[in-house]
Chain A
Amino acid sequence: MVIVALPIAALVWQSKHEGWAGFWDAVSGREAVAALKLTLVVAALAALTNAILGTVVAWVLVRDEFRGKSVVNAIIDLPFALPTIVAGLVLLTFYGPHSPVGIHAAFTQYALFLALLFVTLPFVVRTVQPVLHELDRDMEEAARSLGAGELTVFRRIVLPSILPGILSGLTMAFARAVGEIGAVVIITGNIPYKTEVASVFIFNRIESNDPTGAAALAVVLLTISFGVLLAVGGIRRYTTRYERP
């Protein structure tokens, strides 16, 4: 509690220090708004992309059988295990100026998107996979025997069961993407108004000794984090509402 809650209290205190007007000035500054907007949009895009592709990956890992599946399953966790700064460097090597495939995305918003895809990849896979694994396949068989096509079976039988998993994975992925710095700091070049994300903006404010500017945006990110945790808690309560009191 001392480790986590006290620093957060200090942060909220600092942002209140300058009053509401000071807070608003700092948050509505042009560079801050640009950074926040970019962060939210690209983070949402990355989280959505991984929600779709993550569901496909989870599906393949549970329902498909092929050689090397266990290796593929292990690789999913790579973004959790690899230091994010290394991830950024690795992506720069492949998608940067010396790319072997001729894609030069470094220092653009595409690079930011790629970096966020990388770090948020495991979330949806890891929340959907266990649900899909527990899913009773008799219902799907029943639907099929009643004449439902594959898409209908997925949409009406499978999707409703795995949707809470997708949503909570998506929300956690979004939170992670909004706060990411290590993976983006090298590959995006941190160009203000173009590729500078919120966390990099905060970092630069601290470095140039402007705690008020940093605190304002930090409080915005903190609020988003609490919102995400509330949402995930809500999803968890909704899915377990018929279990134990």
Chain B
Amino acid sequence: MSVRRLGLRSVAVGYLAVILVAPLGLVFYRTFVNSASAAWEALSDKDTRHAFQVTLLAVGIAVPLNTVFGVAAALAIVRRKFPGKGLVNAFIDLPLALSPVVVGFSLYLLYGRTGWFGTYFLRHGIQILFAWPAIVLATIFVSVPFVAREVIPTLREVGDEQEQAARTLGATGWQTFWRITLPSIRWAVIYGVVLTTARCLGEYGAVAVVSGSIQGKTETATLRVQEEYENLNFAGAYGISLALAAIAILVLILMTALRPRETAH
């Protein structure tokens, strides 16, 4: 028994070490030992600064929007019956299973010069594609599922007895939501927000298609990594990567702290 247990443990830990820990550790090590100053310099580059600002803008719009939408959608799916519910449910999950490039391409077709919306916006002189609105739209699209996916099971689990009790005591819909429903799902919402933020920060494929990657204009942090790498400015690519990886590790710590009890064991 103990030999088997030790064997399984080594397989599991060894696999994680080879695939996840060693590569990331090496990047941190090499950057700090060889080129800490070069990485820092890359981060203070004007275009890199701007890229982080674009990313932050997308995160700042997408995360609140998808939080409100996610909670509303979860409530509708769990508590209400309406025609087309199965379809809504499926479309919420779609971004999880769909290539971000296909997502970006769909937006490209919709808002492009000949697209359904593209011609309208073009007539009114509003640039969507290859400008920040497209980046924001792509970011929203790919991060739609996370809050709803976290809130739905929690909502099912807590049931609606308390909400019904509140309502029989004369609470309005809003009062019930703020005093009863929201407090009972708040950790699921926060966990979903953390996941959404991570996804928005790291989005690459969809944004790569719609942004046009114009340096200092429509480049996000992840696109900047690619650009620096292709220009053979490795210190720059590693510097930005490291900043993003540091955020990822922060996200991991938050996720661990917030994970629901059952799976945290």
Contacts and interface: CB of A to CB of B under 8 A. Distances in A.
Interface in A45-65: 53, 56-57, 59-62, 64
Contact of B255 (A11, A14, A81): A81
Contacts of A3: 137, 140-141, 144
A133 interface: yes
A222 interface: yes
B238 A89 contact: yes
B26 A4 contact: no
Contacts of A59: 8, 12
B93 A229 contact: yes
B15 A57 contact: yes
Nearest to A8: B106
B57 interface: no
Contacts of A85: 202, 204, 222, 225-226, 241
Nearest to B92: A4
Interface string A164-206: 0000000010011011111001100000000000111011001
Interface residues of A, number: 81
A221 B102 contact: yes
Interface in B140-197: 140-141, 144, 195
B222 A74 contact: no
Nearest to B205: A181
A80 interface: yes
* Chain B contact residues, majority secondary structure: helix
Contacts of A117: 19
A95 interface: yes
B248 A10 contact: no
A180 B16 contact: no
B226 A90 contact: no
Interface string B17-56: 0011111101100100000000000000000000000000
Nearest to B84: A1
Nearest to A99: B26
A206 B209 contact: yes
A13 B117 CA distance: 14
Contact of B251 (A73, A75, A81, A225): A81
Q: Could you say which interface size class chain B belongs to?
A: 35 or more
Nearest to B243: A86
A100 interface: yes
A150 interface: yes
B262 A130 contact: yes
Contacts of A76: 16
B252 A74 contact: yes
A238 B187 CA distance: 29
Interface stretch (A21-29, A135-143, A155-163, A210-218): A210-218
Contact of B105 (A11, A66, A91, A176): A11
Contacts of A179: 97-102, 205
Interface of A: 1, 3-8, 10-11, 13-14, 53, 56-57, 59-62, 64, 66, 70, 72-86, 89-91, 93-95, 100, 114, 117-118, 121, 126, 129-130, 133-134, 150, 172, 175-176, 178-182, 185-186, 198-200, 202-203, 206, 211, 214-215, 218, 221-222, 225-226, 228-229, 232-233
14 contacts: A3-B141, A7-B109, A56-B8, A56-B15, A60-B11, A70-B256, A76-B16, A86-B202, A86-B225, A175-B96, A181-B205, A203-B209, A232-B93, A233-B90
4 smallest A-B Cβ distances: which pairs? A179-B99, A83-B202, A7-B106, A182-B204
Interface of B: 1, 4-5, 8-9, 11-13, 15-16, 19-24, 26-27, 30, 88, 90-103, 105-110, 115-116, 137, 140-141, 144, 195, 198-199, 201-205, 208-209, 221-222, 225-226, 229, 237-238, 241, 244-245, 248-249, 251-253, 255-256, 262-265
Given A83-B203, A181-B204, A225-B98, 6 more contacts: A4-B91, A62-B265, A114-B19, A133-B262, A182-B204, A203-B205
